[in-house]
Amino acid sequence: MTETAPAEKAPFRRRRKDARPSELTTAALELFVERGYAATRLDDVAARAGVSKGTLYLYFRSKEALFKAVIEEGMLTVLAAAEQRLADYRGPATDLLREMLLDWWQQIGSTPMAGVSKLILCESSNFPQLAEYYQEQVITRGRALLRGVLRRGIEGGEFRALDIEAAIGVIIAPLLMLAISRFSLRLCSQEVTAADYLTTHVDLLLDGLRHHPDPAGATGTKAADERLR
Amino acid sequence: MTETAPAEKAPFRRRRKDARPSELTTAALELFVERGYAATRLDDVAARAGVSKGTLYLYFRSKEALFKAVIEEGMLTVLAAAEQRLADYRGPATDLLREMLLDWWQQIGSTPMAGVSKLILCESSNFPQLAEYYQEQVITRGRALLRGVLRRGIEGGEFRALDIEAAIGVIIAPLLMLAISRFSLRLCSQEVTAADYLTTHVDLLLDGLRHHPDPAGATGTKAADERLR
Amino acid sequence: MTETAPAEKAPFRRRRKDARPSELTTAALELFVERGYAATRLDDVAARAGVSKGTLYLYFRSKEALFKAVIEEGMLTVLAAAEQRLADYRGPATDLLREMLLDWWQQIGSTPMAGVSKLILCESSNFPQLAEYYQEQVITRGRALLRGVLRRGIEGGEFRALDIEAAIGVIIAPLLMLAISRFSLRLCSQEVTAADYLTTHVDLLLDGLRHHPDPAGATGTKAADERLR
Amino acid sequence: MTETAPAEKAPFRRRRKDARPSELTTAALELFVERGYAATRLDDVAARAGVSKGTLYLYFRSKEALFKAVIEEGMLTVLAAAEQRLADYRGPATDLLREMLLDWWQQIGSTPMAGVSKLILCESSNFPQLAEYYQEQVITRGRALLRGVLRRGIEGGEFRALDIEAAIGVIIAPLLMLAISRFSLRLCSQEVTAADYLTTHVDLLLDGLRHHPDPAGATGTKAADERLR
DNA sequence: AATGAATGAGTTTTCATTCAT
DNA sequence: TATGAATGAAAACTCATTCAT
């Protein structure tokens, strides 16, 4: 408003203008994650972004469009981070798996992007198409990455044989809960630092995956199968 | 509804009156879990319960009161199920842990009560006092149960030493995700049956916990610690 | 319910039954006066009368019918009290006027019936027909009584000549305000007992009415007339 | 609406914004006075003000807040009018008293502000705090003004001795009834113009207050005292 | 006669969306 | 572009009225 350098006016404006959409989605993400979609008022989003409510409608057709933009922007970020690592990484699957989990935490789980996971979890039934899209673009790809590592580990004798699809979910769950817990009740990571939690998860997991002769678990498994019909 | 004794006609009204609250909370739970608190209209809750909107207000002062009742009723159910198992169970910690996890799934995770977990996860920041209450009454108690088993296992040499608090969270997370996934996107248990998922979780976990000499994991742990600061 | 003397049952019931309507109107009058018609809930009327809400509908077709019954019952009481005094009273108009005002206070103004005045004042525009009826039956009759006394006093030389219709209103106003004030803010009778207030009113009034030669007031009156057009 | 300066088009919005609250309270005052608080629908207030229902909530948090604003705005107007007259007026108390009463009618009683008196009278038990505030700010101050004049008149020998507090109420009552009657049944001023009514009140009152020797009233007073205990 | 559970029309209140400036 | 006043559809909530018992 009180521009001291009139020569710079145009670029400044340009920059603001270009930055607007992501300023808005950033504010929206925070509030959507904290309160949920329906409970978030556009008034509050605008206020947090420091603009008027009307301005939101210059960039997004509707509240739903804003929400979708938030999710899509988050997905782009996630996928961009992931693609970088697809990597020609070579070496033991054990190391690779550990690497992937810690990477995920550093690139995604510990950032605001983790909020997108919470949104998908909480709002998926209200936005089925968006959820499906997320499923295809993010979840399926992420699972594929893990599947590759697990297969390699099993084939190479590092990991014992197991139900790979199920294992993928079991591996992801603690990461996801850790990320989501940042925005709500600490259901799982109460009184524990993220580092301790992750370390314990990785250690337990790699120990559990490791191929060793002890046949004791098998009995238990059968018993469990019976209990679950 | 299924009147077997026509002679008992008189208490019909009375029985209805007594049954109403839980009919209403049942309908409300379903919708709150599916759509979230804010997106659930009381009209729909009433319709699902087969009553008029006004009837809801005969039993619950407000939408918020209904929500709290839903959570509290769920908590009672969960705690009642848990208390039953506190048990004088004796035997290997390994068996006990497996037992507990499968029990949780059968008593809670696979029932409508699992929805309460999703609600707490999604709505905790909108109902902080309720979340705190849930934390104290349910989470803390549940963690205490697991803590007891892990300690016994470690002291008895069945399990290796580890960060017990962190391990509790890691153990719970896959169960919770499995339960919550029933009401939204299958973030973790995609294309896998609950039984396979649980079996894999328990097997991996017990393998990972088992006390065996291989010291390889330690190195990895240190590397991870460094990455996480 | 638990009648110990079954022989007396019938008459007891009968008495209750006959008394019901006035028990209900009594409770209704209290609440209507305190809160106004619209703000009074039938639930509360029923509760104050110690019956269920449904019972009200056994005696009154609707809330409006109940209100009208309250007013009409009040009017009957008022008129009955008035008729008694129409009297073949003889004597100085001064004494008669004082008598009438004090009587009104004792028979009406100091009783629950005074509430009817407040109701008419506050609700007349919501029940124009009822107000008109009250006007005809109560106000007009009351004014006629006063008119008679004032005329007699003027004709007999006790009172000076004045605008009789206006004087009637001026005489009534303090009585009415005193009565109404019992149910709301003491706009006029703050910190004064009803007896002091009435005494002062009557004294001032009779002094003011008395025929005395002093011509000073005339000037003032003319000035006032000019100010008011 | 009545734009005399078309060049000033820009501030139209601004002017509207500033004017809105009082447009709304004006409409609200009319309806509250006519129907009472509870029976007045915000729909109707909005319609009378020529805006939509939602607009009301742009300026007032709730119906109750609107009501309080109506009363407070009315009080400000009343007090502002009163302060103007506090006056260094000198002269006979008789003239001053007449002046005050006629002023009140012209400044308040004959204006829409008179409606506030009706609201306070009718709604005081539903808004006790507001009533108390009104009592302190308006009634107490108004009584103080009258008290001053009466004292001066008595001390100066113009008025006879009497119960000043009671007299204040007796003096106010006809004014108040006249004002309130404009909005409901003419309980007191039926078939009489305001001017005639006021003139009669003032004349009667000043006559009644005047100091004259006749001791006749005393007897009557004693009789009245006995009747009232 | 009496009850009180149930109803649904009516009211208050909220908030996404529009649009004149 | 940006604003924010205004809108009105939709949701929460109330309560007079009904009716099965």
CB contact under 8 A, C38 and D38: yes
Judge whether residue C57 contacts strand F, using its CB and a 7 Å cut-off: yes
- φ, ψ dihedrals at A159, nearest 5°: -105, 150
Between residues D9 and A36, the one the model is more confident about: A36
Q: What pLDDT was estimated at residue A89?
A: 67
CA to C1' distance (Å), from C17 to F20 = 23
Distance of CA A142 to the CA centre of its chain: 10
Cα distance between residue C177 and residue C118, in whole Å: 9
Between residues A56 and B213, the one the model is more confident about: A56
Q: What pLDDT was estimated at residue D228?
A: 64
Cα distance between residue D216 and residue B221, in whole Å: 112
Q: What pLDDT was estimated at residue A218?
A: 44
Q: What pLDDT was estimated at residue A4?
A: 40
Q: What pLDDT was estimated at residue B80?
A: 84
Which of D136, D168, D187 has the highest number of chain C CBs within 10 A, making it the mutation to test binding with C? D187
CB contact under 8 A, C170 and D174: yes
Judge whether residue C40 contacts strand F, using its CB and a 7 Å cut-off: yes
Q: What pLDDT was estimated at residue B214?
A: 52
Q: Is the pLDDT of residue A63 over 90?
A: yes
Contact list in B for residue A201 (CB cut-off 8 A) is: 166, 170
Average model confidence (pLDDT) across chain D: 86
Q: Which of D118, D120, D195 sits opposite C225 (nearest CB)?
A: D195
pLDDT tens digit sequence for D198-223? 999 999 999 998 876 554 444 445 45
Through-space distance between the first and last CA atoms of chain D, rounded to whole angstroms: 63
Judge whether residue D54 contacts strand F, using its CB and a 7 Å cut-off: yes
Cα distance between residue B176 and residue D29, in whole Å: 58
B163 three-state secondary structure:
coil
Quickly state the pLDDT bin for A88 (edges 50, 70, 90): low
Judge whether residue A41 contacts strand F, using its CB and a 7 Å cut-off: no
Q: Which of C190, C206, C228 sits opposite D143 (nearest CB)?
A: C190
Residue at C166: amino acid letter = A
Q: Which two tokens stand for residue C94?
A: 């001064």
Residue at A215: amino acid letter = P
Cα distance between residue C49 and residue C59, in whole Å: 13
Cα distance between residue A45 and residue A66, in whole Å: 10
Cα distance between residue D38 and residue C37, in whole Å: 8
Through-space distance between the first and last CA atoms of chain A, rounded to whole angstroms: 70
- φ, ψ dihedrals at D210, nearest 5°: -55, 140
Q: Is the pLDDT of residue C219 over 80?
A: no
Between residues C14 and B47, the one the model is more confident about: B47
Quickly state the pLDDT bin for B225 (edges 50, 70, 90): low
pLDDT tens digit sequence for D97-149? 999 999 999 999 999 999 999 999 999 999 999 999 999 999 999 999 899 99
Among candidate residues C191, C163, C188, the one with its CA nearest the CA of residue C175: C188
Q: Is the pLDDT of residue C18 over 80?
A: no
Q: What pLDDT was estimated at residue B189?
A: 77
Q: What pLDDT was estimated at residue C210?
A: 86
Decide if C144 touches D, using CB distance below 8 A: no
CB contact under 8 A, B210 and A207: yes
pLDDT tens digit sequence for C73-127? 999 988 887 777 666 667 899 999 998 999 899 989 999 999 999 999 999 999 9
In this prediction, what percent of chain A has a pLDDT beyond 90? 68
Judge whether residue D48 contacts strand F, using its CB and a 7 Å cut-off: no
Q: Is the pLDDT of residue B165 over 50?
A: yes
Decide if D144 touches C, using CB distance below 8 A: no
Q: Is the pLDDT of residue B106 over 50?
A: yes
The minimum CA-CA distance between A13 and chain B, rounded to whole Å, is 37
Block residue for tokens 């006995």: D226
pLDDT tens digit sequence for B4-23? 344 444 445 555 668 889 99
Q: Which of A131, A174, A202 sits opposite B173 (nearest CB)?
A: A174
CB contact under 8 A, A190 and B180: no
Distance of CA D37 to the CA centre of its chain: 18
Q: What pLDDT was estimated at residue C112?
A: 93
Q: What pLDDT was estimated at residue D225?
A: 58
pLDDT tens digit sequence for B65-98? 999 999 999 999 888 887 776 656 678 999 999 9
Q: C164-181 and D164-181 are packed helices; what angle lies between their axes, rounded to 10 degrees?
A: 110
Between residues B71 and B1, the one the model is more confident about: B71
Nucleotides of F under 7 A from a protein CB: 1-21
pLDDT tens digit sequence for A126-176? 999 999 999 999 999 899 989 999 999 999 999 999 999 999 999 999 999
Q: Which two tokens stand for residue D183?
A: 């909005």
Q: How far lies B52's CA from each of B16, B41, B47, B55, D202, in Å? A: 14, 13, 7, 5, 62
Through-space distance between the first and last CA atoms of chain B, rounded to whole angstroms: 63
Q: What pLDDT was estimated at residue D171?
A: 97
Decide if C42 touches D, using CB distance below 8 A: no
Query: DSSP secondary structure string, B74-139?
Result: HHHHHHHHHHHH-----S-HHHHHHHHHHHHIIIIITSTTHHHHHHHHHHTTTSHHHHHHHIIIII
pLDDT tens digit sequence for D30-47? 999 999 999 999 999 999
Contact list in A for residue B224 (CB cut-off 8 A) is: 98, 102, 195, 198-199, 202
Contact list in A for residue B141 (CB cut-off 8 A) is: none
Quickly state the pLDDT bin for C228 (edges 50, 70, 90): low
Which residues make Cβ contacts (< 8 Å) with residue A130, sequence separation at least 6?
A67, A68, A71, A123, A124
With CA atoms as reference, the chain A residue closest to B32 would be A122
Q: What is the pTM of this model?
A: 0.89
Cα distance between residue A135 and residue A139, in whole Å: 5
Sign of CA dihedral C117, C119, C121, C127: negative
Q: What pLDDT was estimated at residue A19?
A: 77
Taking only residues 63 to 122 of chain C, the set having a beta carbon closer than 8 angstroms to any beta carbon of chain D reads 94-95, 98, 102, 105-106, 117-118, 120-122
Q: What pLDDT was estimated at residue A156?
A: 92
Average model confidence (pLDDT) across chain B: 86
Q: What is the mean pLDDT of residues D78-91?
A: 74
A228 three-state secondary structure:
coil
CB contact under 8 A, C166 and D196: yes
Q: Is the pLDDT of residue A46 over 80?
A: yes
Any idea which of A51-55, B190-194, D102-106 has the lowest mean pLDDT? B190-194
Contact list in A for residue B192 (CB cut-off 8 A) is: 163, 165-166, 169
Q: What pLDDT was estimated at residue C9?
A: 43
Contact between residue A208 and residue B207 where contact means Cβ atoms under 8 Å apart = yes
Among candidate residues B125, B181, B172, the one with its CA nearest the CA of residue B147: B172
Q: What is the mean pLDDT of residues C164-168?
A: 96
CA to C1' distance (Å), from D52 to F13 = 21
pLDDT tens digit sequence for A17-35? 677 889 999 999 999 999 9
Q: Is the pLDDT of residue D190 over 70?
A: yes
Q: Is the pLDDT of residue D11 over 60?
A: no
Q: How far lies C213's CA from each of C217, C218, D45, D207, in Å? A: 10, 11, 55, 11
In this prediction, what percent of chain A has a pLDDT beyond 70? 82
pLDDT tens digit sequence for A108-125? 999 999 999 999 999 999
Taking only residues 117 to 136 of chain C, the set having a beta carbon closer than 8 angstroms to any beta carbon of chain D reads 117-118, 120-126, 131, 134-135
Q: How many CB atoms lie within 10 A of CB D198?
A: 29
CB contact under 8 A, C125 and D183: yes
pLDDT tens digit sequence for A1-19? 333 444 444 444 445 567 7
